[in-house]
């Protein structure tokens, strides 16, 4: 026999559901804050709810969620979840942070709006604000629970909590800046953990879209103890997502939320944003699989069953650095040979690569040894601070070399675009099966989102040099310029 409930019983069941089930609470929060929008339910909201409830139960204490924008990322984690936590335990203190104070304040205001609603007050009758501490960036309950809003890099002196929730720690428009990423990473690793009330038991949650290989997610995943929930707009592999009572098999090529991010919508986003931004923000892969400016698919394999071709011209290119600390750049070298392919036009092949952290004496010895091994026609070294001493030292030894001087506005990205024109022609080869060659291609494909770009610099310098001095040509070189870069190597002499 079907059970019949009274109106008061139905309301009590609803309120009980709101108190105990975060997913139900998120749904009501959405309808309250966005009354004109339709709530498009989807499994990823269930998944996020289970992971957040695991944080509440201390089954997870360090959580990273990577997911696309406009998929209820902030509403679930930075708005509804803190309200639900404080409703269930009004003595909890929560710190929320985003890349700007304004964004963090907006999350705080939305959270407060929920907590001031009539349905919230009925659901959680013990959770009430004090009158003397109820601002947009900080408010307190009568049981001394607090929610404090700040910005990434901002001061947390005297502030702390059981939960610290970081939502979008990087501005997407500034994620390419080394300074911006370093600021966010340092704040995240050095400041945030110290503000937990209980180091053993309290929770840190990072909720963001991927923007760079060395963004906050990339930095934290190098450390132990972090749980990752990755929700790309389109999955690139079969993944089993399981937490608590939730289980989902996220199939290869399956869309995360077709009702909001259909194939048509995603294609339009990729076309308008470009491959770098789209891959990070929507696929949660800060390096596009196909590559970006210097795509992996443009390199041509030289079968390892064949002897390397006989080269009539050889160059070596260096990108130098002397320090050897763990966070310092590498010294990189690539060696290239020019050969005729099928008795046709000249092609270029990568013969060797080196990528090490070296002291100056070690670098000098490395250059000399490699010079006598390959007997290049010319050695190219950038005329910068870390290369000047090396250039002076090698000239004393009679090594054939030229210094590369950079022109005004000659940046790495511009050089990569110029070099890409050659690479796309399919005239650049690499020996198949060599790990060092694979690393060169990987770093090039990752540019400009890679943590290190030393090998990439040697590749672009080599290709531009060989093109500028007509060792290798591409269609229309005799008609149009070689590109927009102002890179004009100061070489000259018969070695050019």
State how far the Cα of 307 lies from the Cα of 147, in Å rounded to an integer.
67
pLDDT value, residue 474: 64
What is the per-residue pLDDT for 246? Answer: 95
Lowest mean pLDDT among 97-101, 114-118, 178-182: 178-182
pTM value is 0.68
Are 188 and 196 spatial neighbours (Cβ–Cβ below 8 Å)?
no
Structure tokens, 258: 């077709």
Mean pLDDT of the chain: 87
State the average pLDDT over residues 433-453.
88
Flag whether pLDDT at 129 surpasses 70.
Answer: yes
Confidence of residue 417 (pLDDT cuts 50, 70, 90): confident
**H or E element: which one contains 331?**
strand 331-340
Q: Which of 12-21, 132-141, 364-373 has the highest mean pLDDT?
A: 364-373
Average of per-residue pLDDT across 183-210: 95
How much is the pLDDT for 484?
35
- The pLDDT score that the predictor gives to residue 476 is 52
Percentage of the chain modeled with pLDDT above 70:
89
**pLDDT value at residue 103:** 96
For 352-372, letters b (16+ CB in 10 Å) and e give: bbbbebbeeeebbebbeebbe
Whether the predicted pLDDT of 491 surpasses 70: no
* Mean pLDDT, residues 176-181 taken together: 86
Are 244 and 170 within 8 A, CB to CB? Answer: no
Query: Which residue's entry shows tokens 């040509």?
Result: 473
State which H helix or E strand residue 309 sits in.
none
Strands in 155-275 per DSSP E: 163-167, 203-208, 227-230, 239-243, 246-250
Per-residue pLDDT tens digits for 205-224: 999 999 988 899 999 998 88
* pLDDT class of 496 with cuts at 50, 70, 90: very low
Q: Does domain 296-468 have CATH number 3.30.420.240?
A: yes
The DSSP 8-state label assigned to residue 69 in this structure reads: T
**206 sits in which H/E element:** strand 203-208
Query: pLDDT at position 326, please?
Result: 46
CA atoms within 13 A on the CB side of 310: 2
| Residue range(s) in the chain whose domain bears CATH number 3.40.50.300 | 7-281
Q: What is the mean pLDDT of residues 228-236?
A: 96
The secondary structure of the chain in percent helix, strand, coil, rounded to multiples of 5, reads 40, 20, 40
CATH fold, domain 7-281, is Rossmann fold (3.40.50)
**451 close to 326: Cβ distance less than 8 angstroms:** no
pLDDT at 493 over 80: no
Q: How confident is the model at residue 313 (pLDDT cuts 50, 70, 90)?
A: very high
How far does the chain reach from its first CA to its final CA, in angstroms?
93
pLDDT one-digit tens code per residue, 7-26: 566 667 778 889 999 999 99
Taking CA atoms, 219 is separated from 14, 186, 226, 243, 450, in Å, by 42, 10, 11, 24, 12
Q: Which long-range contacts (CB under 8 A, 24 or more apart) does 214-219 make?
A: 214/181, 214/185, 214/451, 215/169, 215/170, 215/175, 215/181, 215/184, 215/286, 216/166, 216/169, 216/170, 216/181, 216/184, 216/185, 216/188, 217/64, 217/66, 218/286, 218/451, 219/185, 219/188, 219/189
Q: Are residues 146 and 86 in contact, defined by beta-carbon separation less than 8 angstroms?
A: no
Confidence class for position 352, pLDDT limits 50, 70, 90: very high
Distance of alpha carbon 447 from alpha carbon 440, whole angstroms: 11
Q: Which two tokens stand for residue 47?
A: 């998944």
Which residues of the chain does CATH 3.30.420.240 include?
296-468
Q: Is the pLDDT of residue 234 over 90?
A: yes
Residue 289 has a pLDDT of 60
């Amino acid at each position: 026999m079907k059970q019949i409930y009274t109106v008061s019983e139905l309301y009590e069941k609803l309120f009980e559901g709101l108190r105990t089930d975060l997913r139900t609470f998120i749904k009501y929060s959405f309808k309250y804050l966005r009354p004109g929008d339709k709530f498009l339910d989807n499994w990823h909201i269930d998944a996020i709810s289970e992971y957040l409830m695991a944080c509440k139960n201390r089954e997870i204490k360090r959580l990273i969620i990577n997911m696309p924008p406009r998929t209820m990322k902030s509403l679930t984690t930075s708005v509804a979840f803190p309200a639900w936590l404080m409703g269930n335990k009004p003595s909890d203190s929560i710190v929320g942070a985003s890349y700007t104070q304004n964004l963090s304040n907006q999350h705080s205001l939305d959270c407060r709006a929920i907590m001031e609603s009539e349905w919230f007050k009925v659901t959680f009758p013990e959770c009430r604000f004090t009158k003397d501490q109820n601002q947009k960036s900080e408010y307190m309950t009568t049981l001394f629970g607090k929610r404090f809003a700040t910005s990434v890099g901002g001061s947390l002196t005297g502030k702390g909590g059981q939960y610290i929730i970081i939502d979008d720690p990087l501005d997407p428009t500034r994620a390419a800046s080394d300074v911006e990423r370093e600021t966010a990473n340092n704040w995240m690793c050095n400041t945030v953990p110290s503000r937990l009330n209980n180091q053993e038991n309290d929770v840190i949650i990072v909720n963001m879209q991927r923007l760079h290989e060395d963004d906050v997610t990339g930095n934290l995943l190098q450390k132990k103890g972090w749980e990752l929930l990755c929700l790309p707009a389109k999955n690139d592999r079969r993944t089993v997502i399981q937490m608590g009572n939730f289980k989902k098999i996220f199939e290869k090529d399956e869309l995360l939320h077709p009702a909001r991010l259909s194939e048509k919508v995603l294609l339009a986003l990729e076309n308008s944003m470009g491959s770098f931004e789209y891959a990070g923000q929507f696929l949660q892969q800060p390096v596009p699989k196909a590559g970006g400016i210097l795509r992996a698919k443009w390199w041509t394999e030289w079968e390892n069953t064949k002897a390397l071709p006989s080269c009539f011209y050889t160059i070596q290119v260096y990108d130098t650095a002397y320090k050897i600390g763990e966070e310092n750049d590498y010294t990189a070298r690539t060696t290239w040979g020019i050969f005729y392919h099928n008795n046709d036009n000249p092609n270029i092949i990568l013969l060797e690569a080196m990528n090490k952290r070296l002291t100056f004496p070690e670098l000098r010895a490395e250059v000399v040894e490699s010079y006598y091994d390959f007997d290049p026609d010319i050695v190219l070294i950038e005329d910068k601070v870390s290369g000047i001493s090396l250039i002076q030292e090698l000239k004393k030894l009679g090594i054939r070399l030229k210094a590369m001087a950079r022109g005004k506005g000659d940046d790495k990205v511009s050089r990569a675009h110029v070099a890409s024109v050659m690479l796309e022609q399919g005239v650049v080869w690499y020996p198949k099966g060599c790990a060092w060659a694979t690393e060169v291609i990987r770093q090039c494909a990752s540019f400009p989102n890679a943590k290190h770009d030393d090998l990439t610099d040697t590749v672009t310098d080599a290709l531009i040099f060989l093109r500028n001095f007509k060792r290798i040509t591409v269609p229309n070189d005799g008609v149009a310029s070689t590109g927009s870069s102002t890179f004009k190597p100061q070489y000259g002499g018969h070695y050019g």
